Amino acid sequence: TDNSPPGYLFLCPLAELQAEDPTCFRVPDRPAYWSLDPSGIDRLSVEAAENLGFPAIELQIKVFGKSWDASVYGGIRQFHQYKGFNTNSQQVALEMGYPPVQVPCDWD
């Protein structure tokens, strides 16, 4: 609003979103915050920022993916089978130097 003091929006560094496992990420308790201080040292609480008229911060994470036609994957699978790989395992990925993939059983 016109009566709001100048505010500064701070976003957490990208490194704070990265987990040890490169296939995962984590969200810090406050990935973004408002401050009246240009250095960002003094963080405003969510309530204080709202009372001063600053917009609420909403974190959205979107995942996009692309894929080929199923026949392409069939061809790649057939190629790896001809090369002697077990295509029902991680053998091809391990041979290419990728780390083994473990899918968690307890999805939140």
Would you state the torsion angle of the CA atoms of residues 15, 19, 21, 24, taken in this order, to the nearest 10 degrees?
A: -100
Nearest Cα to 34, choosing from 48, 21, 13? 48
For the chain, how far is it from start to end, CA to CA, in angstroms?
A: 38
* Mean pLDDT, range 41-55, rounded to an integer: 94
Interval 6-32: pLDDT, tens: 999 999 888 888 777 777 778 888 899
Domain map (residue ranges) of the chain = 1-64, 67-98
Cα–Cα separations (whole angstroms), residue 70 to 61, 67, 91? 27, 8, 21
Q: Which two tokens stand for residue 98?
A: 């990728």
Check residues 83 and 103 and name the one with the higher pLDDT.
83
The pLDDT, as a whole number, for residue 96 is: 93
